[in-house]
Amino acid sequence: MKRVYFVGIGGIGMAALARYYMSKGLPVAGYDRTRSVLTDELAAEGATVSYSDSMDAVPVEFRDKEGTAVVYTPAVPADNVPLSFFRDGGFELNKRARVLGLITRDSKSRCFSGTHGKTTTSSMAAHVLHSGPVGCNAFLGGILKGYNSNLMLSATSPYSVVEADEYDRSFHQLTPYIAVVNATDPDHLDIYGTEEAYLESFAHFTELIRPDGYLLMRTGLKLVPRVPEGVKVYTFGRSDGDFHAANVRTGEGTIVFDFVHPGGVISDIELGVPVDINVDNAVSALGAVWLTGTLTDDLAREAMKSYPGVERRFEFHLKEPGRAIIDDYAHHPDELSKSISSVRALYPGKTLTVAFQPHLYSRTRDFADEFAAALSAADEVILVDLYPAREEPIPGISSKTIYDKVKCEKKSLIAKEDFVDTMKSRNFDILLTVGAGNLNLFTARLAAELKTKTTSPQA
C-alpha cells in the first residue's frame, strides 16, 4: 500500500482513518459530497479533497491499482462514480469498519458501543488514558475539544479506544479487549428491521471479545450477552451495578460525585462538562479504565475535571447570567429525553426552548410518537425541516409528522434558514438545539449575532 483513497472522507469515522494514514506518511485523497469544517481541516493537514462525483477529480496517481487502497463508507451510494471505478477496476476495497478493525486488532482495545453515549464515553476514556502515563490510540466519533481532533496517537501504548458503531453492523469488525455497552434502545431499523435483530447484533458483538477480556454493560438492558469462556462480565449504572455513582452533589454550574468500583470508592469526581447525563457517562468511562488497573484516584479526579467535552455534545455556544444556548447531537428519542432533563437539572426554574431537527426519514417514521413525547417536556418547541442524510424521501414523512403530535402549547414549524431571525426576536432563557443534522451551524450563527449585539457600543 502506497496511498489511500477515501470515498466519503468527510464522515467523522473516515476522517480519523485519513488522519491515521497521514500520520504514517502515506498520501491521502478522498471525495465527499459536501464541504465542511472537517474536510477543510483534512485538506489543511495534507489530504487532497474533492467534492465532485467525477473521476476527473481523483488525482492521477490514485487511479493506479498498484499500491492504491480504497476505503469507503456504506453511507455513500453504490452508484457513486469513483466508488464504481475502483470496484470495477479490481482495486483493494475495504469498508471503514474493516480497516478500523484491522488497525486496532493487535491492541488492547476498549470498544464503546450503544445506541447513545458511545462518543462521550469513548472520548472520556481516551482523555483519562491520555492524561496518565500509559496513553492510548483513539478513534473517536466526534471532535474532542482541546485536542481539536478525533484521533489520538501513541507510539508506545498497548491500548486503543474505539467508538464501536452499530450502524451497518460495523462493530462486528472489532476485536474488543473491553467491550462497553451503554444502551440498546432500538435504532437504525432501516438496517435491522426489528428490535430483536438489533439486540441480536449487540449479542454477536459480545461474542467478539478476546477470551482474556471484559464486558462492561449497563444494568437493566434487554441484551443477553454471549461472551466467550474466560471473559469477565461487569455492570454499571447510575446508582447500581459493579460500577456506579454515589453522593451526587450539584451546585451552581457544578456536579460532583463519588465513583464506586469493585475495589472501593474514589471520592469527589467533578465533571468538566457538568450536565446530569455525564454522571452516567463518566461511570462507564472510568469503569473501562479501572478494569485494566491503569486508574488511580488522582488521575480519575484530575482527568474528569479537565475533560473538555466533544463538539456538539452539550456544547455551550452562549453562557450568560440567566441565558444560555446549548447544542447537543441527540437524535434518538431516549437521547432527546435525557438531553432535555439534563438541561432542566442544570437550569431549574428557567424557561426551556427546544429546537429540534429530525435526522433521517426512516427514524422520523419509526419514532415519531416517542420524539413528540420527549419534546413535549419543553416549555416551547421549534421544529425545523428534516435532515435526510443518506436517505431518499418517504412519502408523508417530514418534521410535521412529529410536530402534529407534540403536546406542548407553544410550538412552531419553521425552515432552518429562518431559525436565526426567529430566535433573535424571542426573549428566551435557555435554548437547546438538538439533532444530528446541520442545525448547529445556525445555532453558532445565532450565538455569534447575540454576542455581537450584547457587546456592541449601541447595545
Q: Where are the beta strands (DSSP E) in 375-448?
A: 380-384, 410-414, 430-434
Average pLDDT in the 131-148 region? 91
Lowest pLDDT segment from 82-91, 331-340, 376-385, 403-412: 331-340
CB atoms within 10 A of CB 114: 25
Rounded to the nearest 5°, which phi and psi values hold at 41?
-65, -40
Measured distance CA(173)–CA(62) in Å, rounded: 26
Measured distance CA(150)–CA(140) in Å, rounded: 5
pLDDT tens digits, one per residue of 238-247: 999 999 999 9
Q: How confident is the model at residue 276 (pLDDT cuts 50, 70, 90)?
A: confident
Measured distance CA(426)–CA(323) in Å, rounded: 12
244-251, strands of its sheet edge to edge: 244-251, 254-261, 264-270
137-144, strands of its sheet edge to edge: 149-152, 137-144, 159-163, 108-113, 178-181, 214-218, 232-236
Q: Are 382 and 439 in contact (CB under 8 A)?
A: no
* Mean of the per-residue pLDDT values of the chain: 91
Beta strands 244-251 and 254-261 are antiparallel
Average pLDDT in the 15-21 region? 94
Which DSSP category does 206 fall into? H
pLDDT tens digits, one per residue of 23-62: 999 999 999 988 888 899 999 999 999 998 889 999 999 9
pLDDT at 334: 86
Place of cell 464504481: 84
Place of cell 457513486: 80
Fold of 105-306: UDP-N-acetylmuramoyl-L-alanine:D-glutamate ligase (3.40.1190)
CA dihedral for 146, 150, 155, 158, sign (positive or negative): positive
**How far from each other are the two terminal CA atoms of the chain, in whole angstroms?**
59
Q: What is the dihedral of CA 402, 407, 409, 412, to 10 degrees?
A: 0
Which cell goes with 138?
483513539
Length of the chain: 459
Average pLDDT in the 450-458 region? 63
pLDDT at 459: 42
Q: How confident is the model at residue 275 (pLDDT cuts 50, 70, 90)?
A: confident
DSSP H or E segment with residue 109: strand 108-113
Q: How confident is the model at residue 115 (pLDDT cuts 50, 70, 90)?
A: confident
Average pLDDT in the 341-347 region? 86
pLDDT at 168: 83
Query: What is 3-96's CATH number?
Result: 3.40.50.720
| Helix residue ranges per DSSP H, 253-383 | 277-290, 297-306, 333-346, 361-375
Of 348 and 99, the one with more pLDDT: 99
pLDDT tens digits, one per residue of 171-206: 999 999 999 999 998 887 778 889 999 999 999 999
380-384, strands of its sheet edge to edge: 315-320, 323-328, 430-434, 352-356, 380-384, 410-414
Shared fold status for 3-96 and 105-306: no
CB atoms within 10 A of CB 16: 23
pLDDT at 427: 85
Fold of 315-455: Protein-Tyrosine Phosphatase; Chain A (3.90.190)
Domain residue ranges in the chain: 3-96, 105-306, 315-455
pLDDT at 257 over 90: yes
Q: Are 327 and 440 in contact (CB under 8 A)?
A: yes
Of 454 and 430, the one with more pLDDT: 430
pLDDT at 455: 55
Which cell goes with 296?
488511580
Q: How confident is the model at residue 454 (pLDDT cuts 50, 70, 90)?
A: low
